[in-house]
Amino acid sequence: MNIYGANQNFLGLVTHHQFDEAEFVVLPVPLEQTTSYITGTALGPERLLKASHQVELYDEELDAETYLRGIATLEAMDLKNLEMDEALQAIDRQVGALLAAEKKPVLIGGEHTVTIGAVRAVHKKYPDLHVLHLDAHGDLRESYQGSQYSHACVMSRVRESCSFTSVGIRSLCQAEADAIQKGLLDVWKMKRLRMEPDALENIAKNLSGPIYITLDLDVFDPAVIPNVGTPEPGGMGWFEILSLLKCVFEENRVVGLDMVELCPDAGPNYGVFHAAKLLYRLIGYWAASDQ
């Protein structure tokens, strides 16, 4: 497994980034085949890595320098000439190799379809896996624009093997709304989150099994992170997301995570930096939960 040069490492690390010693491994996955609105998610991993060089290594909330636990950055996966089935198989293999090496996989996309390949790999190791899905969209279509592997179908594919909880949802088609009601799915729409003061804590405490987190950045209100392919108004705030995920890490065993749908040119640069800072904070929560 090749490691980037330091200028392309997450946080720009020169030390504490060698694969063999690392506890966490950042895997850039610039997959973009089914984008349906604003394009550019293929640029997400590269731009996030660049922005991460401006993130302070000392985390003021955690009072820690999380990077000392070891964070390696792998070379970006080259998926450009692959059919979607082949790309997902490649992601599955790569994540499986990281798990076999006892690493904690941290994927950065790329469109949300990245999650399908990653969850397949993690589910093989953890058959009772539960997926925590943070998103503006339900992603529960059976197919979209002729593809069952569209970014709009991710949770339908995840649902075929794993239970899941969706949080932050505020955009659905009629078929998705019917599927949620018929399947009694654990979906927390923004309206419900606003109405229940203890919702975030209750969500985190009621999860079960090993947890895989998939975070589509459009779960945020666009004022926080505008750089996404399908922005929706009325999203979650910075501290809401942090409060939820801190509790998730404290109350559960997290075994993998991804951050997807960063579309760097869709908004001002601050959104890309916010994504990089968030990723470091999540790695910090993960490290703190596993002392």
Domain range holding 227?
6-289
Residues in the chain: 291
> Residue 21 falls within a domain, yes or no?
yes
100 band by pLDDT with thresholds 50, 70 and 90: very high
Number of domains in the chain: 1
Q: How far is CA 239 from CA 244, 268, 277, in A?
A: 8, 20, 13
Query: Can you tell me the mean pLDDT for 208-212?
Result: 95
**pLDDT value of position 15:** 62
> Residue 282 falls within a domain, yes or no?
yes
Measured CA to CA, the distance from residue 262 to residue 47 in angstroms comes to 9
Sorted by sequence, the CB contacts under 8 Å of residue 235 that are 6+ apart come out as 136, 168, 170, 190, 218, 219, 220, 221, 222, 224
> Residue 1 falls within a domain, yes or no?
no
Q: How far from chain centre, in Å, is Cα 76?
A: 16
Question: Can you read off the two tokens belonging to residue 245?
Answer: 């995920």
Residue 54's domain is classified under what CATH number?
A: 3.40.800.10
Measured CA to CA, the distance from residue 255 to residue 123 in angstroms comes to 10
Assessment of whether the complete model's pTM goes beyond 0.85: yes
> Residue 110 falls within a domain, yes or no?
yes
> Residue 229 falls within a domain, yes or no?
yes
Share of the chain above pLDDT 70, in %: 96
**pLDDT value of position 48:** 97
**pLDDT value of position 244:** 98
